[in-house]
Chain A
């Protein structure tokens, strides 16, 4: 192989690495903005001194360390998890529609959280974490296994149908409870919207081991996703154990998306849209789609969160609403641009 053959490939790879570095820088900038911007205006110098020399007497410093830093960290963690969960699911199922929310994960989390509030009288986000995680995981495993019965495995139509049906069944249970209990309705309406506000550091520390585990697992199987994307027969011909790699991918997605939903509530469309954006930049290889998704998603989520704090003073718009408002048009544009079924 001569230098002339490899040069364009190397240039392309270099360009992608430059893109990654640029996005890391953008993410750091966004994180700083997320610490600096909020309902109470705090001067940039004060933000800086709060970061380097914390003074417990100052209210501004308290706000930054108790509210804005946990919120920013949770935003980054949830964003990474949603982006990677979407990418892994789309790769493993060869399905451009595969997304945590379409696979019934939010309805599963909602059912257990609603039951927790209704029966056990839970009242704070930190108490919902484990319920949401368990419900999300169980629902997605159920949908995934119903859809992968039969010869062709999890085809787009079967996954979407099973997800929609499971969501409908679970949501009827949710509405039956909500119609009978005003207290539960009052609690759940602030959880189900999907938000980063009102979470403290303890939620981040509870969820972060799962996010780390899921991220490591996702990168470990990243290479096998390229094989799966070419079809089961090709993957088998390349020496892969298709069932094992698809199972591991599903596990990674459950851990990631379950952790994200536990921390922030149901956030729609990030997991669906971000991998499509990443694919439009990098091309079809999951070795690049995964890291790009991992950086685009927290950028989108933190950006949406900051936007939500600015647009409607003195209140704020929850991040789940902003991401749907921004993500859906992007998704519509992607659908109009090319044939998604062929990805």
Chain B
């Protein structure tokens, strides 16, 4: 009885936190649903909202309108789904890295995982002449290999987060040099193709991109969320976590593996879209306002950022379609600078 009354305040506080997170997540999901609907509706070819619904239901009702069905089901729907999936994947991977390495800089963009995928993809395009699924596979392999290399180089009686970031930056610089070198050696049309891949885009959205990513997320997201429950101990620092009974190296390694795989599969599907992984965590954190990283809200934020950026990229300028990566970079960076200026005003990092 005594034990129960002591445990109650803690439990109820935890429940309140969870409820708050749930409410925020619901609002975010509503926003995502609105963006999703808008992305199906907006475009050069005007489709009435009712017609959009009709062609979405056409596989079930059997009522087909050929032109509209093609635009909605084969062009706009795959694009929106790919944006949502890849955004969630990048965001979860980013927030896992940031939480795990206790450093807001430690997103896969900056730690070198994306550069690894990029270097491999540019090599595959320029030297091997690969494309399509083979290219995605090359990028995936590049990301995984780079992650293993960084982990091994940072290993010295365990892995200190600061060392991972520094070594990641160094590895990233080396791989950027590889990309520059390949750029000077290739024919200009291959360079153009590689450049388009490096910026990242949703133009090639179709089932062969969506299905591998969806399968990967189906496995990795639940794993990440489950493993993430041990993260709060790790965030207190290695020594405290060890004292609390956490197996520091093992849980860190499995979390890192999961985060790397998420980033690698997303990059393979849409290219290294800049800064979605970087900004989603901080945005969700601000929205939650609890000083905690919420994994699920972060994923929804990532999907919103990706889908919203893609709509901006497609429709903001008349007669010009930009790849999504151009908009996410600008948007993410301005947000980060704003965040820095704000936190400076409050006198903390």
Interface of A toward B, CB cutoff 8 Å: 97, 101-102, 146-147, 149-152, 155, 157-158, 160-162, 164-166, 168-169, 171-173, 175-176, 178-180, 182, 185-186, 189-190, 192-194, 268-269, 317-318, 320-321, 324-325, 327-329, 331-332, 335-336, 340-341
Contact = CB atoms under 8 A, between A and B. Distances in A.
A175 B195 contact: yes
A190 B103 CA distance: 35
B163 interface: yes
Nearest to A331: B170
Given A157-B103, A168-B329, A182-B188, 13 more contacts: A102-B169, A149-B345, A150-B343, A150-B347, A157-B349, A161-B104, A173-B330, A178-B195, A179-B196, A189-B191, A318-B180, A318-B181, A324-B177
Closest 9 interchain pairs by CB? A172-B329, A150-B344, A169-B333, A324-B177, A149-B344, A165-B336, A328-B174, A168-B333, A193-B180
A169 to B, nearest CB: 3
A154 B275 CA distance: 23
A144 to B, nearest CB: 13
B47 to A, nearest CB: 28
Interface residues of B, number: 55
Contacts of A341: 162
B254 interface: no
B115 to A, nearest CB: 12
A202 to B, nearest CB: 23
A165 B340 CA distance: 10
Contact of A172 (B104, B171, B326): B326
Nearest to B196: A179
Interface string B99-119: 000011100011000000000
Nearest to A335: B166
A146 B320 CA distance: 33
A335 B104 contact: no
Nearest to A336: B156
A193 B181 contact: yes
Given A165-B340, A171-B329, A324 B174 contact: yes
Contacts of A97: 166, 169
Contact of B341 (A102, A146, A186, A192): A146
Nearest to A180: B320
Contacts of B326: 172, 175-176, 179
Nearest to B199: A175
9 contacts: A146-B344, A147-B340, A157-B105, A165-B332, A192-B180, A318-B180, A332-B171, A336-B156, A336-B167
A332 B345 CA distance: 35
B74 interface: no
A165 B336 CA distance: 6
B243 interface: no
Nearest to B348: A150
Nearest to B171: A328
B183 A189 contact: yes
Interface in B228-253: none
